[in-house]
Amino acid sequence: MRCLPFVIALLAASLIAAPAGAQRVTFSDAPIGGLPKDFVTALTGQGRPGKWKVQEDTSAEGQRVLAQLDPDPTDYRFPLAIYMPTFPSDVEVTTRFKPVSGKEDQAGGVIVRLIDRNNYYLARANALEDNVQLFRVVRGSRQELAGADTKVASGVWHTLTLRAEGDRFSVSFNGKLLFTHADRTFNSPGKVALWTKADSVTRFDWIDIKPLQGK
């Protein structure tokens, strides 16, 4: 019986470490002007840290959004809002986002298999370039893997999906599959995050996260 507390503690630790399940993350109940629960901010590259805050937006499904507001135009500047639960390596993540402003960039992105601020996979859409691209970021170095030209309107809500399954990555925009690509750099469980670039002011409405175990 004396080992019972140890067994209970071990079970609790295993539950805490277990990867999170399917969920939709919204900001409708998050306090205005703050950072939502279970999110932390980080920066890949140079320049000022991102300024991530919850704002009201009546055009959003949840009426509140998470927005990156700092317009620092540093080119190699990638503010992140990291959702802290850990998810399986095989996962499909969709975000609804709206590029609002930016002279250098008007971009929004979603990250999977994030190890830390310098190592992850990223799908991003840019309203100034009218394209969607897939990158891997290794030790802070951003490397393009694949992409497609498509209209990305500014001031309009879009959905962007990054699906990671084994070494196969699929990127969809507004519900349409754009391309797939194979890469083996990262294949461990990791975190999900939101991403912007340079002076992009971008709003995010929600994040859908679907682990793909057994698929």
Q: What is the pLDDT of residues 43-102, one digit of tens each?
A: 999 999 999 999 999 999 999 999 999 999 999 999 999 999 999 999 999 999 999 999
Yes or no: say if 180 and 92 are a contact pair by the CB < 8 Å rule.
Answer: no
Residue 34 maps to a domain: yes
Supply the range of the domain harboring residue 161: 22-211
Whether residue 17 is contained in a domain is answered as no
Give CA–CA dist 57/30, Å, rounded: 13
CATH of the domain at 113: 2.60.120.560
In a domain? residue 150: yes
193: which strand partners? 82, 111
Note whether residue 15 is domain-resident. Answer: no
Mean pLDDT of the residues in the chain: 92
In a domain, 158, yes or no: yes
pTM: 0.89
Measured between its terminal Cα atoms, the distance across the chain in Å is: 41
User: Strand 107-116 to strand 190-195: parallel, antiparallel, or no bridges (unpaired)?
Assistant: antiparallel
Give the integer Cα–Cα distance in Å for 21 and 209. Answer: 8
Alpha carbon 8 to its chain's center: 34
Query: In this structure, is residue 16 part of a structural domain?
Result: no
Query: With 0-12 CB in 10 A as exposed, 13-18 as middle and 19+ as buried, what is 82?
Result: buried
List the chain pLDDT tens, one digit each, 215 residues: 444 444 334 333 333 445 678 899 999 999 999 999 999 999 999 999 999 999 999 999 999 999 999 999 999 999 999 999 999 999 999 999 999 999 999 999 999 999 999 999 999 999 999 999 999 999 999 999 999 999 999 999 999 999 999 999 999 999 999 999 999 999 999 999 999 999 999 999 999 999 997 54
Is residue 109 in some structural domain? yes
In a domain, 132, yes or no: yes
* Number of domain units in the chain: 1
DSSP 115: E
Contacts of 186 (CB under 8 A, 6+ apart): 89, 113, 115, 119, 120, 121, 136
Spatial CA neighbour of 105 closest among 144, 136, 65, 76: 76
